Amino acid sequence: MKSIIIIPARYASTRFPGKPLADIHGKSMIERVVEKASQVGDQVWVATDDDRIYKHVDNFGGNVVMTRSDHPSGTDRIAEALDLIEAKLSTSFDVVINIQGDEPFILPSQVEQLIRSFETERVDIATLANPIHEISTVEDMNQVKVIFSPLQRAIYFSRSPIPFVRGVDRSLWPEKVDFWGHIGMYGYRSDVLRKITKLAPSKLEQCESLEQLRWLENDYHIHVETTDHKGMGIDTPEDLLRALQEGEL
């Protein structure tokens, strides 16, 4: 099974323009993500639509491919990048791992978890979840929650608290049931990746603004691996400052 890691990186972020190039102790954020991913395999590529990011990645010796700027999601950018890379290398890959370019806290072991998921033939897509213990996080609409079966197949993703614990004071919910937060790192079989990018937006996806619901509604098997390490996505300059002050980076 041949796998490839592709890291989508855009310059035009509303809350943090130029985020992939932000300096973290002498190295850019995107370089630190590439370094983490490279501990798992040698086929690590950055997919960008910006000349500044392209030149920067090329200068530090990373693999980089230029994609279109009109993709509606990172998944679509990943699919185009896969086609370009396979044509460039004259080879094909069975599994694609999608790591966000603003996730310098990922662990190589988490990437390995996703890759191992595809040893089971029924798995189309794989992702990660971590336990939530605080009711404030359960209720936070920016923290996506996921419920999954005993066989670790995703049942639903939501911004709302799921499951709803009837007849119990909300403050006690985490004591009564396990809550899981979704970590937005994905693995896809290559053929599945190409198929899901051709699907029309679904009703549940539009309600929750979560593209993975489109995949569930079209009956794709999403496998959920669990991890105790959540990490911290860098969405704003304040996130980066806080991470540096807390010694996270």
Q: Could you tell me which residues come within 8 angstroms of residue 150 by beta carbon, excluding any fewer than 6 positions away?
A: none
What pLDDT was estimated at residue 66?
97
What pLDDT was estimated at residue 239?
85
> Does some domain include residue 249?
no
> Does some domain include residue 176?
yes
What pLDDT was estimated at residue 89?
98
Which range marks the domain in which residue 126 is found? 108-228
* Number of domains present in the structure of the chain: 2
> Does some domain include residue 75?
yes
148 and 78 part of one domain:
no
Are 3 and 94 within 8 A, CB to CB? yes
Residue 241: Cβ-neighbour burial (10 angstroms; 0-12, 13-18, 19+): exposed
Question: pLDDT for 142-172, tens place per residue?
Answer: 899 999 999 999 999 999 999 999 999 999 9
> Does some domain include residue 237?
no
Q: pTM for the whole thing?
A: 0.94
Regions of the chain short of the pLDDT cut 50: none
Q: In this structure, what CATH number is given to the domain that contains residue 73?
A: 3.90.550.10
121 and 223 part of one domain:
yes
What pLDDT was estimated at residue 243?
79
Give dist(CA 9, CA 12) in Å, integer.
Answer: 9
Residue found under tokens 């979840």: 129
Give dist(CA 127, CA 185) in Å, integer.
Answer: 6
